[in-house]
A and B are shown apart, each in its own frame.
Chain A
Amino acid sequence: MSEKKDMGKKALNLLRNNSVPLMFILICAVCIPLSGFSISYLFNEIVTRMGRNIFLILSLLIPIMAGMGLNFGMTLGAMAGEIAIILVADWQIWGIPGVVLAMILSIPVSVLLGLMCGKLMNMTRGREMITGYILNFFVGGGLYQLVVLYLMGTIIPIIHSSIRLPRGYGIRNTVGLANMRQCLDNQFSFTLFGAKIPLLTFIIIAAMCLFIIWFRKTKLGQDMRAVGQDMDVARDAGIKVERTRIISIILSTVFAGFGMIIYLQNIGNLPTYTAHSQIGMFCIAALLVGGASVERASIGNVFLGVVLFHLMFIVAPKAGAAITGDSMIGEYFRVFVSYAVITVALVMYETKKRRARGRAGELLARAQKEGGGNA
């Protein structure tokens, strides 16, 4: 009987887990005809945005596996990528060598920031997400500004005046990456249905997916899953819980750094002080739209999420204008939807966690009662 109940619950859970993607399919189905964009235009845009964003979103998967929730601290990795790309741009190393060098340079910065983030999250167990979120502001508004606005040009040498502020130190509001623009995307690219398919970028993304699939099967990956399931049990089984959690955050930060570099080479310029500010929010929202939850996310969620979320993002302003006659409504609507999706996911996660805890307590109480009856 309990099996049947479980089945029913499973079906309900399945529906609940997929309610967000279903809702988005509905939104897109309504908005696409209203916006009046042609299918080939949308296809082209989606392919571009897939190449731009998927790597960043993939970096979120590992901390979820380790039970640390949505890594709002991925922005730290993005900042590391930005610092690396500023330096590379200053050294005038362009094209694919520049991108590779930026990735290599970003690793030590990412590791350092990831280590800090992981240590803090170990100190604030159960509140990892809010810690990561506040850490964003701490590093983004504080440390990153300090480095980029004051230390670059004074302590860290910056040669080219096209990057430096006129006052002699600090970085300009935008750093042009024209010589690096889409160098990965254009490599081996071909045209399909009028859209440019950035083959090399997709190959890199595929490699990352394979890495994640392989990583899940390694000892470390298994440890992470054990830690994510139950920290105390994992500790009893001899897993170094703290170390495993720190490693998962460091990996996520490093990959977020790579992802940011891929993102920036696609965009072709770097808005020095604002590029990272929204990136975490958009990546997390996209992942959740794909049907992921705070404790479970798969590669499939990433791909579905990117397509649906960005489809909504492209069509919402025009559809909003068509409905209300004001394009700002659509702009605000898409921002609202991104935040609302995250809110719903967080609330659902917390309710589920509480319900599970309540069930455990009930079982314990019943066991105690029965034990008392026997004695």
Chain B
Amino acid sequence: MGRSVRLQQTRFGDLLQSFGMPRLIITGFLLLLFLFAPVVGADFTTQIGNVINRFSWNAIMVLAMVPMIHSGCGLNFGLPLGIISGLLGGTLSIQFGFTGGLSFLMAIVIATPFALILGLGYGWLLNRIKGGEMMSATYVGFSSVSFMCMMWLLLPYTSPTMVWGLSGKGLRTTISLEGFYDKTLANFLRIGSIPTGTLLFFALLAVLMWAFLHTKTGTAMTAVGSNPTFARASGVSIDKMRMLSVVMSTWLGAVGILVYEQGFGFIQLYMAPFYMALPAVSAILLGGASVNKASIFNVVLGTFLFQGLVTMTPTVMNSIVHLDVSEVVRVIVSQGMILYALTRKTEGAR
């Protein structure tokens, strides 16, 4: 009897350990927010609807973290590179005169070669700096975003919906997607405020990712991340696997930003992609991933928790304490989560 209790205790301890204390606190905090929501008079269904909507916008960018974590490249702070491919795809699709749902499809098609090329270059770079990927990746992202800032001005875009009205050249900072791919996915099979199409699209990509990770190549990729020596001994080309993972991650980033735009209704250019990697990184960590381990479940849970936090804190906290501390809470939670993950010991890091 006593032994079984102790066994249960250790098992509970293990569970706690694997889930991690900070994560538990944040989940508890979110549950508390949900409980308080009706008390302070926030409409519960609207709140849930908001969370689900924001989930559908962001989930694919979080999913983009998975392949690189599996192959041992760490957290993809270079996500802006994928986002830039997506932005190029979106703007070019509009420039070429595609409208409606077709423009979304074409945006993905056009973004793909950019994502492949940028991903290959990025992967090549990361293969040269194994072990120090994250910091360099951050700055690769930054420099490419600031480089594109010049390009948005210089590239010969002419579509009147996108360029500055007065000078007739240079793209605007925000471009409305009305008439193009605004809510294309979201309105597909929409039930009330729930964007079924977007969720289905995410589910499709998530299932594909899950299936890929269980193929021979996918297993090899995981092996490269968790035990590179073993992988090399069994004849897996480490560099090739890492390259593949980076390309996948970049492409998913490109699709992710397009899905985000169709939900949001606007394309944001110039400095907008600058800090977009950080929410995605903290979301997947919040979902239980570590620097070298991540699953689809982590993506779903993490995005839900993170977006829940983002949408719930302002409404609930403000009405409880009458202070707009939501921004501070969000920053402390998301950055604190990244810091916590960095302090964990990881075997993959060499």
Residues of chain A touching chain B, judged by Cβ–Cβ distance below 8 Å, are 120, 123-124, 126-127, 129-131, 133-135, 137-138, 141-143, 145-146, 149-150, 324, 326, 328-329, 332-333, 335-336, 339-340, 342-343, 346-347, 349-351, 353-354
Select from chain A the residue with minimum beta-carbon distance to B270: A332
Q: Which of B184-192, B194-202, B215-223, B325-333 sits within the interface?
A: B325-333
The answer to whether A350 and B129 have CB atoms under 8 Å apart is yes
The answer to whether A127 and B342 have CB atoms under 8 Å apart is yes
Residues of chain B touching chain A, judged by Cβ–Cβ distance below 8 Å, are 77, 125, 128-132, 134-136, 138-140, 142-143, 146-147, 149-150, 153-154, 170, 278, 323, 325, 327-328, 331-332, 335-336, 338-339, 342-343, 349
The answer to whether B328 and A141 have CB atoms under 8 Å apart is yes
The interface residues of chain A lying within 8 Å CB-to-CB of B140 are: 343
> What are 11 A-B contacts with C-beta separation under 8 Å?
A120-B343, A127-B135, A130-B138, A134-B338, A138-B332, A138-B335, A141-B327, A141-B332, A343-B142, A346-B139, A353-B132
The interface residues of chain B lying within 8 Å CB-to-CB of A332 are: 146, 149-150, 153
Of residues B77, B136, B154, B332, which shows the largest number of chain A Cβ atoms within 10 Å of its Cβ? B136
- Minimal beta-carbon separation of A50 from chain B (angstroms): 25
4 interchain residue pairs of minimum CB distance: A350-B129, A141-B331, A350-B132, A142-B332
The interface residues of chain B lying within 8 Å CB-to-CB of A124 are: 342-343
The interface residues of chain B lying within 8 Å CB-to-CB of A335 are: 146, 149
- Minimal beta-carbon separation of A153 from chain B (angstroms): 12
- Minimal beta-carbon separation of B188 from chain A (angstroms): 36
The DSSP consensus for interface residues of chain A is helix
The answer to whether B139 and A329 have CB atoms under 8 Å apart is no
Q: A124-B342, A131-B339, A146-B325 are in contact. List 9 more A-B contacts (CB 8 A).
A: A126-B349, A127-B135, A141-B327, A145-B331, A332-B146, A332-B150, A336-B150, A339-B139, A339-B146
Contact of A137 among B129, B278, B349 (CB under 8 A): B278
The interface residues of chain B lying within 8 Å CB-to-CB of A343 are: 136, 139-140, 142-143
The interface residues of chain B lying within 8 Å CB-to-CB of A135 are: 335, 339
Select from chain B the residue with minimum beta-carbon distance to A324: B154
The answer to whether B323 and A150 have CB atoms under 8 Å apart is yes
Give Cα distance in the complex from A350 to B74, angstroms: 15
The answer to whether A127 and B139 have CB atoms under 8 Å apart is no
Give Cα distance in the complex from A335 to B142, angstroms: 9
Q: A142 with B128: in contact, given A335-B146, A343-B139 (CB under 8 Å)?
A: no
Contact of B328 among A131, A146, A329 (CB under 8 A): A146
The interface residues of chain B lying within 8 Å CB-to-CB of A351 are: 128-129
Give Cα distance in the complex from A131 to B349, angstroms: 15
- Minimal beta-carbon separation of A354 from chain B (angstroms): 6
The answer to whether A142 and B170 have CB atoms under 8 Å apart is no
The answer to whether A138 and B336 have CB atoms under 8 Å apart is yes
Select from chain A the residue with minimum beta-carbon distance to B291: A127
The answer to whether B143 and A340 have CB atoms under 8 Å apart is yes
The interface residues of chain A lying within 8 Å CB-to-CB of B342 are: 124, 127, 130-131, 134
Give Cα distance in the complex from A127 to B338, angstroms: 12
The answer to whether B153 and A130 have CB atoms under 8 Å apart is no
- Minimal beta-carbon separation of A213 from chain B (angstroms): 29
The answer to whether B147 and A336 have CB atoms under 8 Å apart is yes
Give Cα distance in the complex from A129 to B332, angstroms: 19
Select from chain B the residue with minimum beta-carbon distance to A143: B332
Give Cα distance in the complex from A118 to B233, angstroms: 38
Q: A326 with B170: in contact, given A339-B139, A350-B129, A354-B129 (CB under 8 Å)?
A: yes
Of residues B128, B278, B343, which shows the largest number of chain A Cβ atoms within 10 Å of its Cβ? B343
Q: A347 with B327: in contact, given A142-B332, A332-B146, A339-B142 (CB under 8 Å)?
A: no
The interface residues of chain A lying within 8 Å CB-to-CB of B339 are: 120, 131, 134-135, 138
The answer to whether B135 and A129 have CB atoms under 8 Å apart is yes
Q: A126 with B131: in contact, given A135-B339, A145-B327 (CB under 8 Å)?
A: yes
Q: A134 with B335: in contact, given A124-B342, A146-B328, A343-B139 (CB under 8 Å)?
A: yes
The answer to whether A329 and B335 have CB atoms under 8 Å apart is no
Of residues B135, B278, B323, B325, which shows the largest number of chain A Cβ atoms within 10 Å of its Cβ? B135
The answer to whether A329 and B331 have CB atoms under 8 Å apart is no
Q: A347 with B136: in contact, given A134-B335, A134-B338, A332-B153 (CB under 8 Å)?
A: yes
- Minimal beta-carbon separation of B268 from chain A (angstroms): 16
Select from chain B the residue with minimum beta-carbon distance to A346: B136
Give Cα distance in the complex from A347 to B139, angstroms: 10
Give Cα distance in the complex from A328 to B147, angstroms: 12
Give Cα distance in the complex from A135 to B335, angstroms: 7
- Minimal beta-carbon separation of B262 from chain A (angstroms): 27
- Minimal beta-carbon separation of B45 from chain A (angstroms): 31
The interface residues of chain A lying within 8 Å CB-to-CB of B328 are: 141-142, 145-146, 149-150
The interface residues of chain A lying within 8 Å CB-to-CB of B170 are: 326
Give Cα distance in the complex from A328 to B170, angstroms: 11
The interface residues of chain B lying within 8 Å CB-to-CB of A324 are: 154
- Minimal beta-carbon separation of A119 from chain B (angstroms): 10
The interface residues of chain A lying within 8 Å CB-to-CB of B146 are: 332, 335-336, 339
